[in-house]
Amino acid sequence: MSDKTELRSPNFLLKSFFAGGVAGMCAKTTVAPLDRIKILLQGHQCHYKHYGVFSGLKGIVQKEQFLGLYKGNGAQMVRIFPYAAVQFLSFEAYKRVIRNTFENTSHASKFVAGSCAGVTAAVTTYPLDMVRARLAFQVNGHHIYNGIFHVVTSIVKTEGGIKALYKGLSPTVLGMVPYAGLSFYVFERLKAFCLEVFPNTCGRPYPGNTGGIVLVVPAKLLCGGFAGAIAQTFSYPLDVARRQMQLSMMHPEMNKYSKSLLSTLALTFREHGISRGLYRGMSVNYLRAIPMVAVSFSTYEIAKQLLGLDTGLDS
């Protein structure tokens, strides 16, 4: 099936959308406890600001019991299915559009397609990310919100209307360019490298794919994990700024981060420096990003295979 035919096929679009959504849910559930402590560390939550990663996880269990590790994960699932579904489907679409528009597409086209897909998904589902961050930032005994709907109505009523749901969107969009671009680019390049150079070790025969071969699951996980590590390293300071802007109205100490992206980055650097400010929580981010991206790409490819879609070379 040609690229143009696939893009017009409801069957291809729905399968890609579903595979992406399932991949996102599996990936985020895998690392939900690390996501929670990451938000608490990034936002300098007063009850956890002196904790490290593992002491913070232990502290959450002690203060909020085991399910406290998954606080905000319900809102995360509501957000992540459409987010991941839109992102993966958009990547497939952008990749094919670029391939059909430009005769001599380079490997950089994967970066462009990935960046565009990430931005598309982020803009489409951003209010849900805001809601999820607010819920995850709460600790027992200090609840401001009692559910997803309450977060939305409170933000709209008290923080400036619907536009307040998009606070922190600018660092999100800017961060998505390197993060999503590098994630897709590195994964696609490593996948091609493994299948071309080590077909017997990293691949197995699969007649339904381009090239008649498919990447084995351990190789998928390794390629995805490496892609996640590289992408997070370059985009992390923007992720920190995004969280601080999202959480700016939840505590008096955080109000100073409610202005622009540049002022938030500058203030974070002045007050906390690089390692304790712009890259605060980076250790937990590596712990969560590597398995998260690994599981995400692996699940997406497995789901595509089960649904009869091509996951071979340059598919």
In terms of residue numbers, what domain contains 175? 3-306
| Contact predicate 236/285, CB 8 Å | yes
pLDDT at 179: 92
pLDDT at 44: 64
Residue 277 one-letter amino acid = G
pLDDT tens for each residue of 187-245: 999 999 999 999 999 999 988 788 889 999 999 999 999 999 999 988 888 888 877 77
| Contact predicate 189/107, CB 8 Å | yes
pLDDT at 256: 65
pLDDT at 45: 64
In a domain, 164, yes or no: yes
Among 168, 287, 176, 280, which Cα is nearest to 231's? 176
**Helix-, strand-, coil-residue percentages of the chain, each rounded to 5:** 75, 0, 20
Structure tokens given for 166: 């998009």
pLDDT at 253: 63
Q: What's the whole-model pTM score?
A: 0.81
In a domain, 266, yes or no: yes
In a domain, 315, yes or no: no
Return the sign of the alpha-carbon dihedral for residues 298, 174, 106, 5: positive
pLDDT tens for each residue of 8-19: 788 999 999 999
In a domain, 314, yes or no: no
pLDDT at 170: 84
pLDDT at 306: 93
Contacts 24+ apart (CB under 8 A), 1-5: 3/96, 3/97, 3/99, 3/100, 4/96, 4/100
Query: Which residues does the chain have with pLDDT short of 70?
Result: 1-3, 42-50, 103-105, 139-142, 249-259, 315
Helix axes 32-42, 108-137, angle to 10 degrees: 80
Terminal alpha carbon distance of the chain: 11
In a domain, 63, yes or no: yes
Q: Domain total for the chain?
A: 1
In degrees, rounded to 5, the angle at the alpha carbon of residue 17 between the alpha carbons of residues 179 and 33 is 55
In a domain, 24, yes or no: yes
Q: Residue 159 sits in a domain of what CATH number?
A: 1.50.40.10
